[in-house]
Chain A
């Protein structure tokens, strides 16, 4: 009997080290990393602040978040400073977004600051990473439209943009690390900016190209759309194309993309590189401004027109990438996967090889149907 008593007492005396009530935590919704003048890291965190529910009804106009900023020499240092300001320990497992300021990304290797998020046990690889126009900390001043916090809204903005418009993508910590560690060492991180210079609403617009950890370039939404198509990650959206006849080429017609598939096969010879790309697009007619699509021939003509348009745009973007030696499409990986020895030979001068490679692009468009209305414009002039 005494034996059990001592064991029981021992168990209770020891205390519970990892035990913390929910109210002792401050759940971090998002953080932002900026550069200060004297090379320190400026670190802002948005913490979820639960609504005081008194009697089951929620309180007044208090927002659901508070913003804390701290400065430190390293990310972990700043992170551990949060209790000094907030009064609660930060909990990282529900972090929604990581915002990195543009200036910071251009000058530093973002892998340095993201290291904390890979190694800590609470953080998860599923947080989204974004690069912001100007200072990242400004984004925390914004009020969300529908969600409770701007972090959650940013996350939903990225999700819906990637799924429905193709103008941006979602990039998780996982993707960033995987891409930066792959042979092409290049990743695309979505870019957000303010809608107007003074407004307080963010908009996702294209992506930043990060190579070897530093931001080297920016692709706006239109270019980005084509890149995503080429990478075979396009999930849905619309494609604009100008009218077929020359007088009306200011008018734009649209198709809605149902499915898009791209096949990218690089051909490696000993010295040179040629890339074959075929893109197949299935779509529905979205808007008609000047064409009429009533016979099979007319549909074919329209399809070819759309395909040529997209092809031209894509070729432009590919040229741009080649000139700037940006291996956004991950061709280095493909070479490494198929012919690792060849890759090792050409690793040093990969950029030049990419610039000199021949790209053969072919786009096929199929218009499945004209939607719920017939093949002519509904309201004529």
Chain B
């Protein structure tokens, strides 16, 4: 197995950004606006705030010992069995997350562009490419994603700029016609997707150069804040362009791109956004695959973790094809169930270890 060489903090921050942006960019902001109407941007702020809190906990634990992720910390303090008890549900949850990402992108393609193609083709190819990427090594992933991320950001921002003629600022009012509850509902949805997955990403932190801990912290916090800003901009632009329709039109960024029509030449640029969506999902799937491989490898105490890649991919493929019988089951699973059990499985252990470290630190 190739020894995994450490990467720079800049690359880790880019991976983080890609991870957060990856599948959020497909669906958000339609579910948020559906729940929170015009106050959706406040939901984003709230969810982002929770994410910042989580990130603080993670870094607190990280600085105590940069070599271990928080599961390693649990193992260190409480022994192997607790780690396995906590680790196994996390592994299951990662399987689910990976399958959800694939189902998402398959759903996007079969809905919007190529309806006759069965979804297993999309699932198969994305998983295949992800598996190949993970196989070729962590450094390759880190290097490539920096470039892909630039592409993603560039085109998203261009699309948003080009749709400015369609904006009606008065659609943003009224902000809270029905009180604060819809906003909290939206925050709940946004928290589950993607902010709660910060905790899962933290399992990768030991792969950075040891002496870059401080810059890593700064960079990751700025990434989180920038990501929040981007989501807010996307939500606000969707509301401004579509008004009352914003909660109805799925794949908001894609539909925004469809509006652009400059002199009949710069038109139909949603293809670039489509590519961006696929690339984003692919990046997130690859990173999740990598985290899963690492975690499973350390749970089973394997020396050569690469052999796990293709079995995991196969299981994910099967899961993504068979888990849900129709689209709405999936939507409900993601919007209602997912945040809740991820909180229980991942966030609670993280908070637990943070508190324990805090207490032990004071002694």
Contact = CB atoms under 8 A, between A and B. Distances in A.
Given A14-B121, A17-B114, A178-B244, A337 B261 contact: no
A124 B258 contact: yes
A174 B260 CA distance: 13
Given A14-B121, A18-B117, A337 B173 contact: yes
B261 A126 contact: yes
Contact of A182 (B118, B121, B244): B244
What does DSSP make chain A's interface, helix, strand, loop or mixed?
Answer: helix
A125 B258 contact: yes
A332 B112 CA distance: 35
A337 B243 CA distance: 12
Contacts, number: 50
Given A174-B245, A178-B244, A126 B259 contact: yes
B174 interface: yes
A63 interface: no
Nearest to B174: A340
B245 A338 contact: no
Contact of B259 (A14, A125, A338): A125
A177 interface: yes
Contacts of A333: 170
A161 to B, nearest CB: 18
Contacts of A118: 248-249
B174 A121 contact: no
Contacts of B304: none
B64 interface: no
A174 B259 contact: yes
A182 B243 contact: yes
Nearest to B173: A337
B116 interface: yes
B239 to A, nearest CB: 12
A108 interface: no
A18 B117 CA distance: 6
B111 interface: yes
Closest 10 CB pairs of A and B: A337-B173, A18-B114, A340-B177, A181-B244, A17-B116, A340-B174, A17-B117, A18-B116, A18-B117, A178-B243
23 contacts: A16-B117, A17-B117, A17-B118, A18-B113, A18-B114, A18-B117, A118-B248, A121-B112, A124-B258, A125-B258, A174-B242, A177-B245, A178-B242, A178-B244, A181-B245, A182-B243, A182-B244, A333-B170, A337-B170, A338-B173, A338-B174, A340-B174, A341-B177
Given A18-B117, A181-B244, 9 more contacts: A16-B117, A121-B115, A126-B259, A174-B245, A174-B259, A181-B245, A334-B170, A337-B170, A338-B173
